[in-house]
Each structure stands twice: as C-alpha cells, then as structure tokens.
Structure 1
C-alpha cells in the first residue's frame, strides 16, 4: 500500500503573533501543529514563544533558520543602481518592508530627522503597505521631502541592497529579520530593534547595532555612529557578509532540512 504521509509545519512568526492578538486562531493552529510529525521555527525566540503559547511536544519543535542565496545577495552588485536611491555624496539609509504598523515606520522617519541634522544622509524606503500614506504625510510635516525617497515595490531587491551604507529596521517585533540578513549578505551593517529573533541574526557591536524598540534618540545615535565612521562601518559590513555566508547560506541550511526530512520519514 501507499506509505503513510508525513507532515512538517514551518512557523515563520505571523502565525504565532496572530494567536497573541486574536485567540480564536489558537485552536486551529494548535490542531495543525498537533497533527504535524515535525514543527520548525525560524528562530529560537519563536520556538520559545510557540512552546509558551501552545500545548505541543517540545521534542518535535526544532529551529531551522531562514537561508539566503549568497551568490545573488553580494557586495558590490549593480553600482549603477545607487543613483536610484540617492546622490553620490549622500550616506544612504535603506529600509525595506511591507509598511505595517509592527514595522514602526514612523519611528524610522522621526529618528532619521535627527540624523540629517548631523549627517548628509538620505532615507530610501522600499515597499508598500498600510502605513505608507502616513509616512509620506510625516515626511512633509517634518520638512524632509528632499532627504527621503519613496521607491515603491522593487522585486530585484538584491540590486538595491548593496547600494546602502546602512540598513535600518526599527520593528516592534521580528521573528527572524530576513531583510536584515539580506542586507548583511550584501556587506551592509544593520541598525535594528533588539526584539524577537533579530539578536540571533545581528550581533550588536560586530555586524550592526541593536537598539531598544521605540527609543528614537538611541536609534538616531546608532545610525550617526556608523555613518560618521567609515572604517567602523566597513568593518561591520565585512563581518556581516562573513556571518551571512558562514551561518545562513543555502549550502549551510539545506543539509539541516535534508536531515529533518530523513528523520521524519524514519519516524
């Protein structure tokens, strides 16, 4: 007869976050996880949250981080694209997201307003979402129209990432922080919130700077620190690339998936 089908469920974060916001989803998520032969989470923090929210066998919940194509996301790619983000004499701060409230994009603009007082910088915002209109209004209100670029959606994001001097992610919560990893693979240091799984990706003081959620002055100070010190910024960027290749390259993570599937099939 046909072999028994095995089920592996992967949690990326939104699935668990929704349970915290709308408990009605807890029953259906618990049902799916209970009937899974194996469950994976993209970070240790997400695994801890999952075990705290749901009744499930800890032995069946494993951590398998996101991976990245380090041949596609590479430093120095597509230098002609830099002029799409800003002028040659500006330091470019890049943000890529779906502009939901959890990304705290208004914090980003307030923090940037404190940066431009001391650094010739430009904030390039890539993506679209429900908070975008409010962000545009705030940019106008703060008189930042000349220093902020709204790029819109951009599929080939690996072309834009290497053009940045700094990647900024001020989110309320990130289960992993894939966009931060993409920037790191391109040799770009990261300033990001110390939240969720981000500390498992960004090492503060080595590949970027982690800052408290919502502390706009600390965010601005961190960006100024890196943008005003080319030597430190480049060292952080080189270390970021090394971490991306050494820990998160497809070639590093794929064998872990193969092992998981083999163990699951063997029961």
Structure 2
C-alpha cells in the first residue's frame, strides 16, 4: 500500500465502511483525479484499493500541526461514521482541521445526523433535491463521470459484434443491480409489452442479483421465457467492461423506484445513448427532456411503455438525441469538473481559517 507522508497531505478522505457502496466508489474514482490536479488528497481507513495513497492512523498526531501552505487540513466525510471522528479530532483534540461533509441522501435526516451536519465547516450536496433536505447552507456539486471511458463507439455495429451481439439488431439496455428497488421488473414488463411490435429490437439487462434478490431475478427470467422472448431479453450478468456494453446500446432505460443519485444515465448519455428515466434521485437534474431523453413518473409501467415505444420507432429522434446527450455530459458532468468544484469548496473553507 502506498503510504504517503501526512505532512504533504492537504485533504484526508476517510472511508470507514468496508462494504463496497456508492460512497466508496466515489472516493475510488475521485481521488486519483484530485491528485492529478494537485489537490494532495489521501485516503484513511479500510475498504479502498491499495493503489490509492493512504495515510496511517498512527500519523494523525501531526494534525496538531498545520498542513501544506500553513493552513488547516480538510477532513472530507461522506458518512456519519466519518463525521463523528472528524468532530472528535477538531473539537476535543483541538487539531487543525476543517470538516467538509458531502450529502447524497434524499430523505429527512435523523436528529443525530442533523446534529453532526450542523457542526461541519462546509456541506456539499450532490443535487438540488438533496440540498432541499438539509437544514444548513450547502453547495451543490453534482457527480461527474469519466467521459473518455464512457464515449461513443467509432462503429456501433462492430461494438455489438465484439460483445457477441447481433450487429443488425438495435438494443435497449437497463444496467445496474437487479432488484425491485432498481425497477428491473418494470423494465422487463415494458420490454414484454413493446418488443413484439418491434422485431428489430432486443433488450439487455446487465448487472448482478445478490442474496435475496436472486429469486427476484429468477422470477423475471421465468416471465421472459413464458413470453417467448428469452432470445431477445438478455440477462448478461455483471461486467467490468460495462462501458463497452453501453456502446452496444441504442436506447437506455433507468426504471428505478428509488435512487440516491444514479450515475447510469450519465454513463449512457456520455456514450451517445438517449435515456428514459424515472423522476427519482438526481435523474430530473441530469436529463434535458426531450433533447437527451425523457423523464417519466416512477413505478408507472404504462408511461414507461409509451415512452419506450416512441423512442424505439423514431430513428431520427434517437440520432439527434445521441449527439445532444454526449455534448450535455461533456459540458456539465465530467469527473474532472466535479473534482475542480470540490477543490473550490476546500479552498473556501480553508481560506477563512
């Protein structure tokens, strides 16, 4: 593990939860970008790749000293279990720290969480909807993605062929964990309703079902077989090269019933794929309807089927939306832009030290 000298570190990114989550993924993706930008960020805690720069717990005593540029260091928490240690270090041990918290939650906070948030020096919200649940002032900094990794293919037919797909078919996709919350059943029911009318189209479900959700996935597969569409609604499992699967798509549907933020619409649009998404998470703030896709009511099968059928039938509309979607993400939702905005928040909070 590449331990770094804490004296050279400007920002600490604690990760005190071993289980992989959206928060963990955010740290993994952002930290290398931040360091390439010269932000001097190091992780602390378990559950992160060893390739990321880390600091040791035993070196935290140096937080009694100023960091680089003779300024307090930033402790950037993303969970309650990371805000609390930051408070102890700053307020009880009187270490030279500024506390920043990123909130991605879209629900009312508990009294304990509200208390912790109220003690932060600065708060970042990942969407305007998230900000509306906060009782304190916040800065909205939305997530971004790697627009080089997620980019349109030079040849879509070849992109399909590479994955073993029919290059002459058009594909509509639904990617992510397979479970009720993610609305995978709504996607399957929509495809069962519209695909018989559109023989040139097939569907791809990419993602993993875990634990109690395996039975849910098996039920969906049974339903697809009963509809006689097992060769056109494909369950392809989880893939590390998911960017290549996006390149095979002609339309993407994000059917979630609930979502904290949700990156899949950004990943699809960056790949030049129009998106139909439900009105959950940050989706309404990501998609410009009707230029880059549609926003529909959550848990509304009829609305999803109607929207999907309209997009499947209209090649010209999809072509125009493909160009607009790629430009929209490249202009507003890059991960480098996210890192730059976070750095501005760090600078603001340490400037008043």
- TM surpasses 0.5: yes
* Whole-angstrom distance in 1 between the partners of 2:204 and 2:293: 18
Q: Determine if contact 1:64/1:257 at 8 Å carries over to the other structure.
A: yes
Q: Tell me which residue corresponds to 1:126.
A: 206
Q: CA deviation at 1:247?
A: 0.6
The superposition leaves residues 9-45 of structure 1 with CA deviations (integer Å, 9 ceiling, x where unpaired) of 21233xx55xx6xxxx824433432332222121101
TM-score (norm 1): 0.87
* Whole-angstrom distance in 1 between the partners of 2:145 and 2:196: 35
* Whole-angstrom distance in 2 between the partners of 1:220 and 1:88: 24
TM-score (norm 2): 0.67
Q: Tell me which residue corresponds to 1:5.
A: 97
Q: Determine if contact 1:45/1:175 at 8 Å carries over to the other structure.
A: no
Q: Tell me which residue corresponds to 2:222.
A: 137
> Which structure has more helix as a fraction of its residues?
1
Q: Tell me which residue corresponds to 2:131.
A: 47
* Whole-angstrom distance in 2 between the partners of 1:212 and 1:69: 28
Q: CA deviation at 1:118?
A: 1.4
Q: Which structure is larger by alpha-carbon Rg, 1 or 2?
A: 2
Q: CA deviation at 1:155?
A: 1.3
Q: Pick the aligned partner of 2:263 from 174, 178, 195.
A: 178
Structure number with the bigger relative contact order (C-alpha 8 A, sep ≥ 6) is 1
* Whole-angstrom distance in 1 between the partners of 2:222 and 2:116: 42
Q: CA deviation at 1:236?
A: 0.5
- The DSSP-based 3-state class of the residue aligned with 2:266 is helix
Q: How many residues align?
A: 252
- The DSSP-based 3-state class of the residue aligned with 1:7 is strand
The structure-2 alpha-carbon separation of the partners of 1:33 and 1:78, relative to structure 1 and needing over 3 Å to count, comes to farther
Q: Determine if contact 1:184/1:241 at 8 Å carries over to the other structure.
A: yes
RMSD over aligned Cα, in angstroms? 2.0
The superposition leaves residues 74-103 of structure 1 with CA deviations (integer Å, 9 ceiling, x where unpaired) of 111685441436322322011111123221
The structure-2 alpha-carbon separation of the partners of 1:29 and 1:136, relative to structure 1 and needing over 3 Å to count, comes to farther
- The DSSP-based 3-state class of the residue aligned with 2:257 is coil
Q: CA deviation at 1:203?
A: 1.2
